[in-house]
Amino acid sequence: MFTVLYGEGTFMGVSLGATVLSYLKIARVYYVLCIAFGLLAFIPERVMSLLPRSVPVLRNILNNSVGRGKTYDERSAKELGRGSFLISRLLSASVPKKWFAHLYHVAVFNTFLHLCLLCLSLACQPEATTVGKLLGTVEHRNTLLALACLQIHVSRRLYENYFVHVHSEEGRMQLVGYVFGLLYYVFLPATFYTETVAGNTSSILDASGALSSTCDLNWSSWWLGDFVGTVKGTDIALLALFFFGNVMQYQSHAMLASLRSKGGRGSGEGKRTYKIPKGFWFTYCSNPHYLAEIVLYLAFITLSNSWSQSTVILMTMVVMNLTLSATMTHKYYKEKFKTYPTKRYAIFPGIV
């Protein structure tokens, strides 16, 4: 545990607050590194041929880590495994695509843990007379609202992985991509903390490591009047947009799953059978589920007034990752289906 002094917290409380602050810094470094890594995918081939051999190898690792199922290039992955070095074997290793559900197990648990931590930090502020007053403060309100929206989103995604998606038994994803995905959801809640909110966690524990005597856990005193009083018309519109993005993504996933359940599972367990996705959301876009993800992220970040350097970094990474995945899927569809609609774009209608 850290022993750096922070504010007026006690030893154990200060350690908790310093740990949370360190967690925020590590999360930011992780996302910046992911962006730097992701930029490799957008380097033109002419430029790539002039760079050291290690750069194309890194891009190969990137493409394989993003590809899943039908877009996973098994032959390219095996090339990474040539040689006797352990690192090569790890880079070429793959796991079942259905393990993607593990990411949302981590996301649901981790986000809920941070929601509990935030609520405790609100209840344990020594200067607070009611938690409602703290909920009315801008920074705590924003973080609480952002994490609540995130909890709704990742819980829905976990549900989909078990009750909507139809994973092929032979579908694979690269081990590196799987690990990166787990780390993404480990660090995601940190994006919505401010240093003030993180530092306030120092008031939860006293010097002995027990719950601080300043904590008010009388839930009946948690008045939300101040919080509700801050809601504006634009907030309602953004909340509606957030739920619209969730519905759009759910319906898109359901449409894709229906193709697999009728073709893939129906014609033999585990057999890869793909069809051209059709439906309202797929009219002008091959990957409306990715577009919906971007929409709902933009909505709840704006709703919670959480735009900061951290959330800009997060959105840059999200857009880069989903755009790369979308272009790979779009390319697969066009190569596999000669009659694939020419008016469809990969992810952003009229743009990409």
pLDDT at 291: 97
CA gap 323, 264 in Å, rounded: 26
| Residue with tokens 């990715």, as numbered in its chain | 290
272 or 11: which carries more pLDDT confidence? 272
Confidence of residue 265 (pLDDT cuts 50, 70, 90): very low
pLDDT of 269 higher than 90: no
The conformational region for residue 265 under phi > 0 = left, psi -120 to 50 = alpha, else beta, is alpha
List, as one string, the DSSP characters of 271-312: --------SGGGSSBS-HHHHHHHHHHHHHHHHTT--SHHHH
Residue type, 113: L
Domain residue ranges of the chain, discontinuous segments joined by +: 11-336
**What's the average model confidence in pLDDT over 240-253?**
97
Confidence of residue 196 (pLDDT cuts 50, 70, 90): confident
pLDDT at 264: 43
Q: What is the pLDDT of residues 275-293, one digit of tens each?
A: 899 888 999 999 999 999 9
Contact by Cβ (8 Å): 326, 287: yes
